[in-house]
Amino acid sequence: MTNIILTLIDLHIPELLLISSLVLILLDYFLPIDFLAFLGYISFAAGMFFYAPFNILYSLLFSLAVALVLFMLHAVWWGKYLSNIHSYKVILEEIDN
């Protein structure tokens, strides 16, 4: 199992996961759905799995904790900033008038 993880690290999978998470979260800012942000959070947590300085089980638990914290932060704080659905409603109201 450790050889598989080392091979993935050699293929720069953690960096690709972190970059893709940033791209997905930025795309979520421009689109009125939260699905992209959730994929970005999962991708970020998967990238953190490879960078956690623990054994496999603790790295998995750490990445799950990171994902849960990101989901909670999205529900409490980031959701209103990342989802521009309010601005789309304002634009649609202006078009209707």
Domain boundaries, the chain: 2-96
How many C-beta atoms surround the C-beta of residue 31 within 10 A?
Answer: 15
Write down how long the chain is. 97
Listed in sequence order, the DSSP H helices in the chain are: 2-10, 13-30, 35-51, 56-73, 79-82, 85-96
pLDDT bracket for residue 8 (50, 70, 90): confident
The token duo for 83 is 């989802």
Mean pLDDT (the chain) is 82
For residue 93, what pLDDT is reported? 64
Distance (Å, whole) CA 78 – CA 72: 9
Distance (Å, whole) CA 46 – CA 35: 17
47-89 per-position pLDDT tens digit: 999 888 889 999 999 999 999 999 999 888 877 766 655 555 5
